[in-house]
Amino acid sequence: MIQALKSDDLITKAGGRFKLCTLIQRRLAQLMDGARPLVERDGRSDLEIVMEEILHDKISIGWLQDSESSQNESVAAADAPLL
């Protein structure tokens, strides 16, 4: 699964290398804080889980507007609210 980082599929789905890096970092933090994976674990590492979630369009970068009209970046999951 780490080979997937060498292909352009993940980069394209995330919207660029920097967005991919941000998405992976934020989703890894969520998983480490106890969030449930959106794909079967099957003995894979958290990084492999995040890449699989991206490939299956389970998560993406989302933008929220707060009360002060500033934009906050967050990870949006298909089955979970924006954080």
pLDDT at 67: 44
User: How far is the CA of 69 from the CAs of 15, 64, 66, 75, in angstroms?
Assistant: 24, 9, 5, 19
pLDDT at 61: 85
Residue 32 host element (H or E): helix 17-32
Average pLDDT for residues 1-7, to the nearest whole number?
72
Which tens digits make up the pLDDT trace of 26-83? 999 999 999 999 999 999 999 999 999 999 999 988 765 554 444 455 666 655 534 3
Q: Which option is the CATH number for 2-77: 3.40.50.300, 3.40.10.10, 3.90.940.10, 3.40.50.10860?
A: 3.90.940.10
- Which residue ranges make up each domain of the chain? 2-77
3-state secondary structure of 37: coil
pLDDT of residue 25 exceeding 90, the answer is yes
